[in-house]
Amino acid sequence: MNKEDNLPNTMEEASIESRIVSITEAAKINNVTRQAIYVAIKQGKLRAHKDASRWTIDLEELENYRNQKYSRTKSMHNGELVFDNCRGYYSVNQAARMLDVPAQKIYYATRIGVLKAVRKGAAWVIHIEDINQYREIYLGKRVSKEDAM
């Protein structure tokens, strides 16, 4: 690195520097907090190097972390996807977004028995037919009252 103008001396140095990011930059890239990146490093889930007082992360390592990161959409139960949207199975949060209601309303509807849901491991799973039925029967009433006013 050329100290006078802060420019790399060689192409190799330039390509190495462009592949390295800080915790702050990694957090922006992954759309998470700096703390989430720091925790991933401390737990050994994300490889990083500490230069004096600053953590640096190779973009390739960040990509590996992102690909291996836990995601509910990839959750398996008895060898099958828990939330297999292709087959019509959705999470409570997905159903809430589809119905444009808070997730707590979905949990409450399942608890009182007006929306059918089943447990797969630790997750509640709702079939699209049950979501549509709930929309027609229970949310349809709400819409018709609003229209009457």
Task: Tell me how far apart the alpha carbons of residues 124 and 126 are, in angstroms, rounded to a whole number.
Answer: 7
User: How confident is residue 73, by pLDDT bands cut at 50, 70 and 90?
Assistant: low
13-66 pLDDT per residue, tens: 434 456 899 999 999 999 999 999 999 999 998 999 998 889 999 999 999 888
Q: What is the dihedral of CA 113, 115, 117, 123, to 10 degrees?
A: -100
91-106 pLDDT per residue, tens: 999 999 999 999 999 9
Q: Where are the beta strands (DSSP E) in the chain?
A: 20-22, 49-51, 54-58, 76-77, 80-81, 89-90, 118-120, 123-127
